[in-house]
Each structure stands twice: as C-alpha cells, then as structure tokens.
Amino acid sequence: IRYQQEAVLQLAAVTDQGDVYPLPQSDFLSLQKDADAQGITALELVRSAIADKQPIDEKLEALDLAVPIEAPEVWAAGVTYQRSREARNYEATGGKLDAVTFYDKVYDAERPEIFFKSTAARTVGPGAEVQLRSDSQWQIPEPELGLVLGSQGKMLGYTIGNDMSCRDIEGENPLYLPQAKMWKRSCSLGPAIRLVDAVDNPYDLQIACRIYRQGDKVVEGTANTGQLKRKLEELVSFLTRDNELFEGTVLLTGTCIVPPNEFSLAAGDRIEIEITGIGTLVNSVAGAGC
C-alpha cells in the first residue's frame, strides 16, 4: 500500500493480520527494482525488510490510503466471463437473447477484446471519488482483478480495478466504446498490490461488489476468478504483442459481476469491491461535472 503521512506518500507492507510495516522504497516499482538488483523476489525483499521490525501503531483502516501505483496506462480486457457476455448482449440487442452478436464471437474467438482504459491522471485511488458522465443514464462499476505488469509484461502483482462503464452508450453502438469507458475519474485502483508470489492460485479469488445508497445496500454480487474464460498469461500476451509497455501498466481482466439491468449509479453512492487477499476498494460517486 501507499499512505499519506504528513506531506509524503509512504510505501508500506501489510501482513494478512493487518499489521503495517513502512518500507524504505518510495514506491512499488522501486521495490521491484531493488529486488531485481539483488536477484530475489519482491516478496523475499519485503520479508527481510520487515523481519525484526515493529509495525506502526495504526491499523490499515485508520490510514489515508493513496493509489498503490501511478499506472502510466491502464488497459482492460472485456467479455472474459459469461456474465459479461450476457450483459453486453442485453445492452446491444435490447434483451433479444437469441440473437448472435459480436460479443458471442469475441467470447469464443482466439483473440480477446483488449482496450485502452485509462491513464494515471484519469485514475483515482481508494477513498477518492469516481465520477459519472453527464450524457449517460445507465452507468455501473465493473469490479475486476487487475494485473500490475513490468515493461516486458511480467506479472508483478494483483490489484483491484473498477472499470466504470456506460451501458447505454456502448449498447447504442460498439464504436462508442472509448466514450463508454474513458472519461475523467472513470477508473479506480487499489487499495493494495498483492505480490504475485503471495498468491497460490489466481484462479480462485473471491470477488464481491456492494453498492450503498444513502446507507442502504442496493446491489450485492459475488463471483470467483475461477469463472474466467481465459488464462491471465493469454491476456498479457495479446496486450504485449507488437506493443510498447511501460513499467507499472495495469491490465484489468474483465468483469464477472453486473448489477441488475434496472440499476444505474447515482451521485452519492458508495461502491465497495473486495477481492480475497487484496482488500476492499472503496469509492464514492461524484455527479457529472463535479
């Protein structure tokens, strides 16, 4: 994690017990670079750095968390879960579920859907506000497992992403996808990066999404990364193909939780996305133009 301490951002390791240990590096990529220079994994470096140290007095919940990495680019895969395929078909056909669409085709095709989602300036971290678009009446969060990548596509860690989406704009015409996906504060990442070596099986992570309106829970959904149609390496290999990647790029792996069709986000809503071992990404929703 990174948290705000006086005027500086502090990098820290969090144990599964919730104890927080400050680290000497300034950010996640420096930690990775130091580990590479020593020929050890980032997990080994963290373990040796916190051995014999005392955690800080505050628990994780008390800290002012920042986005765990300033990802220069965020890319996203789409229609990687059956649930997303069904939801996209509903948007595109107005509910004619017997029609065969390009969403059906991409779900089964060798080449996955991968699109450019966000830049560091458009991405917010835990506790910050995501924003609504002014020209959409049907907006939802998309809770997704995110892969933090090195410049050669090496998977360094896992995080949580919210691929904010406008179902009406995408449903009207798939060529509107960039407008349905990308605008100011339409992406959120955090609260933590879990190092790859600290995850036994990335295909068995529980994902939950909860949306609260005026304190009442109005949406709840759960899923498991075991439902992912594709392998993570497969998504990364298409992203890196003939591409230039920057250290710390994040690849979101698609959504498997879609709120009921009649639901649209409203200003003031609170979105919680939880993934086992990574934490809970909490964002409130700001109205358009805020």
DSSP-derived 3-state class of residue 139: strand
Which window, 35-43, 134-142, 214-222, 267-275, contacts Mg ion (CB under 5 A)? 134-142
273 contributes a contact to ligand DO4 by CB under 6 A: no
Binding at 88: pick from ligand DO4, Mg ion, none (beta carbon under 5-8 Å per type): ligand DO4
List CB contacts of 9: < 8 A, sequence separation 6 or more.
2, 3, 26, 27, 66
Q: Which is nearer to ligand DO4, 255 or 283 (CB)?
A: 255
Give me the 213-252 binding string for ligand DO4, x by CB under 6 A, dash otherwise. Answer: ----------------------------------------
Whether the Cβ atoms of residue 78 and residue 254 lie closer than 8 Å to each other: yes
Residue among 192, 137, 131 at smallest CA distance from 164: 131
| Shortest distance in whole angstroms from residue 61 CB to ligand DO4 | 29
Site for ligand DO4 in 39-78 (CB under 6 A): 76, 78
Token pair for 232: 């993570």
Q: State the binding string over 132-151 for ligand DO4 (x if CB under 6 A, else -).
A: ----------x---------
CB atoms under 10 Å from CB of 73, counted, come to 20
* Radius of gyration of the chain, Cα coordinates, nearest whole angstrom: 19
CB atoms within 10 A of CB 102: 14
User: Which listed residue (70, 113, 247, 269) binds ligand DO4 by CB under 6 A?
Assistant: 113
CA distance linking residue 117 with residue 279, whole number of Å:
22
Q: Candidates 70, 163, 247, 269: give the one binding ligand DO4 (CB under 6 A).
A: 163
Q: How far is the CB of 164 from Mg ion (least distance, A)?
A: 9
Instruction: List, in order, residues 6 or more apart from 200 with CB less than 8 Å away.
Output: none
Q: Does 125 bind ligand DO4 (CB under 6 A)?
A: no
Would you tell me how many other CB atoms lie within 10 Å of the CB of residue 225? 22
Site residue total, Mg ion (CB under 5 A): 3
Taking CA 157 as the corner, what is the angle to CA 258 and CA 8, rounded to the nearest 5 degrees?
100
Give the nearest distance from C-beta 142 to ligand DO4 in angstroms. Answer: 5
Residues comprising the chain, all counted: 290
Q: Tell me which of 70, 142, 170, 247 binds Mg ion, using CB under 5 A.
A: 142
113 binds Mg ion (CB under 5 A): no
Min dist. Cβ of residue 246 to Mg ion (A): 21
Instruction: Give the pair of three-digit tokens for residue 33.
Output: 């670079």
What amino acid is encoded at 288 in this protein?
A
Residues that bind ligand DO4 (CB under 6 A): 76, 78-79, 84, 88, 113, 142, 163, 170, 254-255
